[in-house]
């Protein structure tokens, strides 16, 4: 019995940790680059790979991958989703985004691979929040009040990530004059950060840091 309780506690700690890392990553990258390296804002979260915050960016993504790999749900497809999320997170880390001044065509190709992994990772995180976290234990007939509240949070976070994905895709197809006019607000960085915060909140709730079942 104690071993089962310890296992549950360790899983909850992992989920809380992943949630905290999801929320903190944008702030760590932006503030770290500003305060430690006296550098300005990058155009995207991935752009911090090419700054002094590279190790933080890569390290947190590998942590994402490890935690997603350790996720275990009610069905085999839940576990597969975690394994795929692990692959996507590590793919984002090891295939850097295209630098602002690429020195070769190969850098652009790697950047496209990075973009594909990033979109897949965000999609996986939305899938977790909308489809997996809202599940209940087999045999459950009536949802408790806290579970209903958690499901609202999960879906809200999941759909927020989806909206951010759609906006990020649309930004790629904006005319050049519009892109130039909004460049100052760093829209890609903004919406990527919002997606990561939504992802982090959903995992904090899954780790029972918020809306925990009543005794």
Half-sphere CA count of 112, side-chain side, radius 13 A:
4
Q: Is residue 46 part of a domain?
A: yes
Q: Which domain range does residue 100 map to? A: 2-206
Alpha-carbon gap, residue 38 to 51, rounded angstroms: 11
Spatial contact of 161 and 118, defined as CB atoms under 8 Å apart: no
Q: Is residue 139 part of a domain?
A: yes
- Provide the residue count of the chain: 215
Q: Is residue 47 part of a domain?
A: yes
Alpha-carbon gap, residue 151 to 173, rounded angstroms: 34
Alpha-carbon gap, residue 15 to 198, rounded angstroms: 14
pTM of the complete model: 0.92
Q: Among 64-73, 172-181, 199-208, name the most confident range.
A: 199-208
Helix/strand/coil for 203: helix
Please give the tally of structural domains in the chain.
Answer: 1
Q: Is residue 119 part of a domain?
A: yes
pLDDT digits (tens, 9 = 90+) for 191-204: 999 999 999 999 99
Q: Is residue 89 part of a domain?
A: yes
Q: Is residue 78 part of a domain?
A: yes
Q: Is residue 212 part of a domain?
A: no
């Amino acid at each position: 019995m104690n071993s089962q309780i310890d296992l549950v506690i360790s899983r909850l700690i992992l989920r809380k940790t992943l949630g905290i890392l999801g929320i903190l990553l944008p702030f760590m990258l932006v503030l770290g680059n500003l305060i430690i390296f006296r550098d300005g804002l990058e155009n995207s979260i991935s752009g911090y790979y090419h700054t002094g915050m590279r190790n933080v960016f890569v390290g947190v993504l590998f942590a994402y991958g490890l935690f997603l790999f350790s996720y275990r749900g009610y069905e085999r497809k839940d576990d597969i989703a975690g394994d795929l999320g692990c692959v996507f997170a590590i793919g984002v880390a090891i295939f850097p985004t295209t630098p602002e001044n690429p020195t070769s065509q190969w850098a652009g190709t790697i950047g496209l691979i990075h973009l594909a992994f990033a979109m897949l990772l965000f999609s996986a995180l939305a899938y977790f929040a909308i489809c997996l976290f809202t599940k209940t234990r087999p045999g459950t007939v009536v949802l408790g009040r806290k579970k209903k509240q958690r499901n609202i949070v999960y879906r809200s976070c999941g759909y927020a990530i989806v909206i951010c994905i759609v906006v990020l895709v649309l930004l790629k197809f904006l005319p050049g004059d519009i892109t130039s006019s909004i460049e100052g607000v760093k829209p890609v960085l903004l919406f990527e950060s919002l997606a990561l915060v939504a992802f982090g909140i959903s995992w904090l709730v899954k780790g029972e840091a918020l809306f925990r079942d009543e005794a």
